[in-house]
Chains A and B, each alone.
Chain A
Amino acid sequence: MTALTARPAATSAQPTQRSGAVKARTRWVPTALLLLGAFYCLAPVIWVAIAATKGPSELFSTFSFWPSFRGGFQYNVTHLLDFRDGVFLKWALNSLLYAGVGAVLSVAVSTLAGYALAKYDFVGRELIFMTILAGVLVPQITLAVPQYLLMSEFDLVNSYWSVLLPSIISPYGIYLSRIYAASVVSDDMLEAGRIDGAGEYRLAWKVGLPPMVPGMVTLLLLQFVAIWNNFLLPYIMISDDGRFPMTVGLFTMLNQGASQPALYSLVVMGVFLSVLPLVALFLFLQRYWRLDLVSGGVKG
């Protein structure tokens, strides 16, 4: 089922321990190993939160794992927000636009296609599906160069479309939607609807869509993260820094930092601020995750 939500009942409250002799003692070795893993994963994020409190002069001179309270945090925030007339906020909004709009459209396209592939026999179905599987295996990034050339043919380079359009098509999303539709949409209900004389589109809307919603939410999150994290596509397509997403923006800032070290503390703050929204998104939305979709755990 959902993986991120805690399910303590499944492990600790299981009453089937063989006898009273088995003590419900904590297993410290696995616990310690897991905490070690959590430390490895969290430490860099904690470090960046601490480093964000340090002004440019302190970043390179004070002890790393101790925050500074001498106004470095405010300095970094205000200077980052003032940086080139507030371009950082623009980057954040752009990331939100690319990832939000892209993910919604991508899920819509994938769901329609996945439903059709799972529930209809039609000429060309296997051909389309094989193409999609090949698409899963071809590195999306190797397509970025020809996509750039095509976009420039249509004068779309450096526009929002140049990043949005290629982000919409997700062979992996279609593949997952097909599996999901095959397992959750009932053939019997579709058949019953047909006997009652319901049209195909009405059936898709009334019978097909509702059970697919949990899978669509998972796919939405996966796509949102994938587009939010994408770097090469916007890096190639966009040259106007007002249309950069956060990833490209901070990267260019770091490149400048090589010659202006004072920028480093602003980049650190930018990294910190850019991590926050996704972390928040995950903590709020964890119960909507249905990753059995990804692990192949959905039974057909």
Chain B
Amino acid sequence: MPVAAPVRRRPRRRGGPTPYVLMAPAVVLLVLFLLVPIGYTVWLSLRANRVSGGGLGIRTERFVGLENYTSVLTDSAYVDGLLRMLLYGLIVVPSMLGLALLFALLLDTPRVRFGAFSRIGIFLPYAVPGVIASLLWGFLYLPDVSPIRDVFEGLGLPAPDFLAPGGVLFSVANIGVWGGVGFNMIVLFTALRGVPREMYDAARVDGAGEVQIALRVKVPLIMPAIIMTAIFSMIATLQVFNEPATLQPLTDTVSQTWVPLMTIYRDAFVNADIHSAAAASVVLALGTLAVSVAVLTLLQRRAFGRDR
């Protein structure tokens, strides 16, 4: 294993077999639970069960090329799910990050009171698992129990139906925003705290107000952190499953194929069609990868690999 490394700028770092020993557990687990599953998925996605012979033929698994992919991409339920997920992302990511940035900037403003209380309060939902959060909000949405409806009725207003076909996407998005805003706020607030206070003094001397300082000085300074949170929020969005899956027992408006992962789950575990599920997984993973890489290249290369 200890191959003599080509001469680098910093030869002192080599250390013989040591790095390989330290890496070994991670590499073994990466291979077993990342690379092998990816490879296996791709392999499965290219095969299918086909009935060979006449009417009562035997079902055999064989290579079918890209057939699964064409059927996945022409499956209107899956494509609808993909579009719904994109729409969900377009709602969740900007509103969640917008609120997180707003709260972080507000917390960083001088002479704000109850800062510690608000910070911990807004962060609290991070401690609530997505499924539990969905159960919680599910009860808040459920017409028979909903306190929000009670409030509306108390005011003599028509009570909103959060689980109606038109609104359910927003109701699910709200759960995502609620669960994610606190963590992102803390990350951005931490970044703001890392900025030396003197950076703002010049702007203050020039007579800039807090709002101007926030927008013109603070936001550009923490841009790398904003980009990081944006990327991870997007990846999380593309994996949305827990919230709609949890709401499903409560309402008929969330179908079994509401988002791609629900379709994949149904194909794999309800319909026992692992080949379609594999193809749909590959499509989703490639999509995520493409979106992430595109955003990274578009915005900045600084977010990753900035450690040297």
Interface residues of A (CB under 8 A from B): 1, 3-4, 6-8, 10-12, 14, 16, 18, 24-27, 30-31, 33-35, 37-42, 44-45, 47-48, 51, 59-60, 63-65, 108-110, 112-113, 115-123, 125, 128-129, 131-143, 145-150, 165-166, 168-169, 171, 174, 178-179, 182-183, 187, 191, 194, 200-201, 204, 225, 228-229, 231-232, 236, 246-248, 250-251, 254-255, 257-258, 264, 267-268, 271, 274-275, 278-279, 281-283, 286, 289, 291-292, 294-297, 300
A-B pairs with beta carbons under 8 Å apart, 6 shown: A26-B112, A41-B181, A138-B289, A257-B249, A274-B132, A279-B124
Q: Are A25 and B111 in contact (CB under 8 A)?
A: yes
| Docked complex Cα distance between A12 and B186 (Å) | 20
| Docked complex Cα distance between A48 and B117 (Å) | 20
Contact with A along B163-183 (1 / 0, CB 8 A): 000000000000000100110
Q: Are A140 and B20 in contact (CB under 8 A)?
A: no
With both beta carbons as reference points, the residue of chain B lying nearest to A268 in the complex is identified as B139
Interface centre among B15, B99, B187, B189 (most CB of A within 10 A): B15
| The one of B15, B128, B150, B210 that contacts A63, using a Cβ cutoff of 8 Å | B150
Stretch in B5-13, B46-54, B71-79 with 4+ CB within 8 Å of A: B5-13
Interface centre among B12, B33, B189, B225 (most CB of A within 10 A): B33
Q: Are B22 and A41 in contact (CB under 8 A)?
A: no
Q: Say yes or no: A109-B307 contact (C-beta < 8 A), given A44-B178, A231-B242, A271-B135.
A: no
Number of A-B contacts (CB under 8 A): 357
The answer to whether the Cβ of B64 comes within 8 Å of any Cβ in the partner chain is no
Number of interface residues of B (CB under 8 A): 124
Q: How far is the CB of B104 from chain A (nearest CB, A)?
A: 9
A60 partner residues in chain B, CB cutoff 8 A = 144-145
Interface centre among B102, B103, B138 (most CB of A within 10 A): B103
Q: Are A146 and B26 in contact (CB under 8 A)?
A: no
Q: Say yes or no: A10-B132 contact (C-beta < 8 A), given A35-B118, A38-B117, A268-B139.
A: no
